[in-house]
Chain A
Amino acid sequence: MVGAVLALVASGCGAQQSPSSDGGGSAAGGGGGGDCGDLTINEQSWVGSTANVYVAKNLLENELGCTVSITKIAEIPVFEALADGKVDVILEDWQHVKLYKKYVDDLGKVKQAGSLGVTGHIGWYVPKYLVDENPELASWQGVAENSELFQTPESGDQGQFLSGDPGYVTNDQALIETLGLNFKVIYAGGEASEIAAIQQAYAQEEPLLFYWYEPQWLNAALDFVEVKLPKRTPGCDADPDNVDCAYPDYDLRKLYSSEFAESGSPAVEFVENFKWSNADQELVSQLIAEEKMTPEDAAAQWISDNKDKADAWLEGISS
């Protein structure tokens, strides 16, 4: 009896759709038809990435008739996912050069899909109210001399340097050691908890020195001042344990799996064309993180306000 029901269930299931691991799997509808098919984009753990993914998803589904599924695999394991085709595309990679060598150059399973157009910048920041009080805190020398200002019970007799997700690209430990600063790096664990810590410091106007970056929606909401680090010189950060200069600007990259790149899907061309600015991305991120819009709605709003940009990505794609 049980067997019979299961068989019934199975056949019904087969008739409905091939069992797919992404759940409901709404039928690819609307738009141009074509043979776009399914593709999977990975969303990373920061809001900017959510903004990229949902704008792309909206256009891919509504204009090109693709079915987009989203995964949320962590930054490093996602390369493995790209390599075996579980994930087709990541839209914002902060140049994991070591992994490029392995997966792009050596194994040839992942390909670069060009620049996202967004420039990533990493640096050390302090709240503006601190600099207003003490202008010398806008440079690393000033911060170095005032390390006691940043002491917390956790950092002991050193100053506290607040960092974010242990997985993000950082040179902070090496910078602190090479420059001979009396600071201790404390990780907040992720973007969200770092923001919680920053907001708490702002609410009380407490001193705080932290790792931060742009594009990031919070930059529009709170006044940050970037601490000047020593100028970049050639090779100054070649040895990861011995860094004495500011972070470079990162040209954020799109990556796709080789399999997807050769699939002939119109989505491939779209992913290559997809390119926007820091301001565009921050706008969508802010709608999501601050205005608490759903990522879908935020993306839809940006698209209807920026028809020209969206059209440019779609131009010439046979659909």
Chain B
Amino acid sequence: MSAVTTARPAIRARLPHLGRSAQVGVVLAILLVLFVLLENKFPWPSGLIYPLNKRFDTLYEWIVDNQNSHWLFLYFFNHIANFLDQLVAYLNGVLVWLSWVGVTAAATLITLRWSGRRVALLVCGSFLSFGLLGVWEESMETLALMLSAVLVSLAIGIPAGVLAGRSDRFDKAITPVLDVMQIVPAFAYLMPVVIFFSVGNPAAVIATVVYAVPPAVRITALGVRGVARESVEMAESLGATRRQVLFGVQLPLALRSIMLGVNQTIMMALSIVIIASLIGGGGLGDTVISALSFLDVGLAIVASSAIVIMAIALDRATEAAAARMDASRHPEGGLRTPRFSARTLTAAVFVAIAAFALAARAFGIASFPDTVGVGDFIAGIINDVITWVQDPTKPVYPVTSWLGDHLVLWGLEPLRVFLSDSPWWAVIGSAVAIALIVSGVRQMIIAGVLLTAIGVMGVWGPGMDTASQVLVSTVLTLFFGVALGIVAAETPRFEQIIRPIQDALQTLPQIVYLIPIVALFSVGRVPGVIASVLYATPVVIRLVVVGIKEVSPAAVEAARAFGASRAEVLLKVKIPLARPAIMLGVNQGIIMVLAVVIVAGLVGGGALGYGVVVGLQRNEFGDGAVASLAILALGIVLDRVTRGNLQRRSI
């Protein structure tokens, strides 16, 4: 960090006259000229390719041959797998024993105790809806799996986050690891996970944990760091030991952040339920995949909506719990003095849960009443709507197919040709130059090394193809995200309406809506682009809303006092001041888009995503691993370039 900041003034001094966007423009203009002059003259030289995929294949062979005899498997991986298997089985057993009555009562009472009445009502309705939709058992399997994954993620994430919050050195060491875990698409590490942990619940838990740990670590670290220095210093001046400071001051004050970490971990875990099903995760993922395999999109959506409902319920519950922790720290915030002690209430909650469960057993209503009709009815309606929308004689298809075709002809294909047919050294040179202009020397080196690595691994062409898809998706995501975000920040009612839609889009598995998208936009790169835009836009909206809302009221008041209209306040005050948050949105948007690149590979997007899919599905481990690494490299390049920007602005 400090090295970067000190390097910057020097660079600025050397390029004093042009603004940064103009400098980027110049770089791109040079690249364009080189493209026109030297199109296709300099493909990646075959002499500069190292057959890394073959090395991976050899490693894979060794693992398959040795996994039953080598100590590493016998005494390490197998034990982890067994432990996780038992954890999931145990939680599942508890849920089965509680029966639907007990589970619903548990969810409701626990939220009532820690999150409040309104959320408890929401949670109660959500759990009942699993039964109504006819997917109670599957939902509980998914819940057991998810709870296990969240428990393991927090057991790793919170201590690591506390460490990262207290030690700069650990923070620096762990950040790239977290980046890797978040950027490598879950699909890419399914095969390695299967090799080490076999299939089934343990593998599904591990795959989920890899994905869900980073937010737990990051948010915890942020919370611990955010504890005001005065509080820590005061405690220290009173003679508290490091340990006492941690447990007495830092952790309690960071509790709200940690709770938000739990919240994000849950959302992450739920978003890969379907993928986990491919390696034996079971539960709702199985129902969805099975429905899709016989083209019953309606049923797939009904089953997925249970995932979405679960996500929304748990999100609101943990969020409300976090907010309450905040409130309880400031008693003047209006919280009534509780009539009973906290401990009594907690005990009462658990006694009541047990009572509900036992009563359900005693009265023989332990299995949910048969309401298969409801789910089928909704699925039927959804299927009718989809059939109508897909019908080429109806007004939707002509519009979508026109849009899809032109997105390819005017956006995706020209950009792909531009990136992959320009001289390779010119592409790397421009990327390096842009990284230098935008983010400084260190990020420039990282970008240069990683882009070169993509070529060396022998996937330059697919890499540039994927880059073009990511760039087009990012532009669309930012367009919709920023526009909708501004509207949502200005009109609270609109925000209320789109919030559940945002949640749904973030947790609804992409494969569910791929079939209608394929029917509407035809196969190829477009369905992948649309899937990534749908997935990434909610995050951008959220960050833009937060950014605009957090603009200091004083600045807004001042502008109003000078007679600025609402539009002027928005354009001249709020948006410029919210720029750091919007830039964070750009950065996060790119990462989210990249996460869906694999899906694009699945539906004709080709490129690196296809390489990963083939790696898993056709047993080409080496090719899959190389494609995953290339996606990772591309992700870090894009992330670092935009993040560098961010750091500088926020300073």
Chain A residues with CB under 8 Å of chain B are 1-2, 5-6, 8-10, 12-13, 16-17, 19-24, 43, 45-47, 50, 70-78, 80-81, 84, 86-87, 96, 98-99, 102, 106-107, 152-154, 156, 162, 165-167, 186-193, 195-197, 199-200, 203-204, 285, 288-289, 292, 295
Contact = CB atoms under 8 A, between A and B. Distances in A.
Contact of B604 (A46, A70, A154): A154
B280 interface: yes
B364 to A, nearest CB: 14
B234 interface: no
Interface stretch (B9-17, B118-126, B195-203): B195-203
A197 B97 contact: no
A76 B619 contact: yes
Contacts of A6: 94
Contacts, number: 215
Interface stretch (B82-90, B255-263, B304-312, B456-464): B82-90
A80 B199 contact: yes
A186 B198 contact: no
Question: Can you list the 8 inter-chain pairs with the closest CB atoms, starting with the nearest?
Answer: A167-B617, A154-B524, A19-B93, A189-B603, A189-B602, A153-B408, A81-B199, A13-B93
Interface stretch (B211-219, B265-273, B515-523, B568-576): B515-523
A144 B286 CA distance: 41
A16 B514 contact: no
Given A71-B282, A154-B525, A193-B514, 11 more contacts: A13-B94, A21-B88, A24-B96, A71-B200, A72-B277, A72-B289, A86-B198, A154-B526, A187-B602, A187-B606, A193-B518
Interface in B185-204: 190-191, 194-195, 198-201
B519 to A, nearest CB: 4
A187 B610 contact: yes
A76 B617 contact: yes
B195 A80 contact: yes
A198 to B, nearest CB: 10
B74 interface: no
A45 to B, nearest CB: 5
A234 to B, nearest CB: 25
Contacts of B525: 154
Given A13-B97, A153-B405, A189-B603, A197 B519 contact: yes
Nearest to A218: B295
Interface string B540-557: 000000000000000000
Contacts of B518: 188-189, 193, 196-197
Contact of B613 (A73, A107, A166): A166
A66 to B, nearest CB: 19
B49 interface: no
A292 B299 CA distance: 10
B280 A190 contact: no
A10 B98 CA distance: 10
B18 interface: no
Nearest to B295: A192
A299 B411 CA distance: 48
Contacts of B170: none
A19 B89 contact: yes
B604 to A, nearest CB: 4
B390 A200 contact: yes
B8 to A, nearest CB: 43
Interface in B506-545: 511, 514-516, 518-519, 522-527
A156 B617 contact: no
Interface in B368-409: 390-393, 404-406, 408-409
Contacts of A50: 290, 293-294
A192 B515 contact: yes
Contacts of A87: 199
A295 B293 CA distance: 12
Interface of B: 64-65, 85, 88-90, 92-94, 96-98, 137-138, 140-141, 190-191, 194-195, 198-201, 277-280, 282, 285-286, 289-290, 292-296, 346-347, 350-351, 353-354, 357, 390-393, 404-406, 408-409, 413, 511, 514-516, 518-519, 522-527, 601-604, 606, 610, 613-614, 616-619
Contact of B519 (A81, A200, A292): A200
B602 A190 contact: yes
Contact of A23 (B137, B347, B391): B137
Contacts of B614: 166-167
Given A5-B353, A81-B199, A197-B518, A288 B279 contact: no
A32 B547 CA distance: 68
A193 B523 contact: yes
A197 B514 CA distance: 11
Contact of A73 (B278, B296, B357, B604): B278
A21 B523 contact: no
A191 B291 CA distance: 12
A196 B65 CA distance: 41
A154 B97 contact: no
B307 to A, nearest CB: 16
Given A77-B279, A153-B405, A86 B199 contact: yes
Contact of A74 (B526, B603, B616): B616
A7 to B, nearest CB: 11
Nearest to A78: B199
A162 B524 CA distance: 10
25 contacts: A1-B346, A2-B346, A9-B94, A9-B98, A13-B90, A17-B96, A19-B96, A23-B92, A72-B290, A76-B617, A77-B279, A81-B198, A86-B200, A87-B199, A98-B619, A154-B523, A154-B604, A186-B606, A187-B604, A192-B293, A195-B295, A196-B519, A200-B392, A285-B294, A288-B294
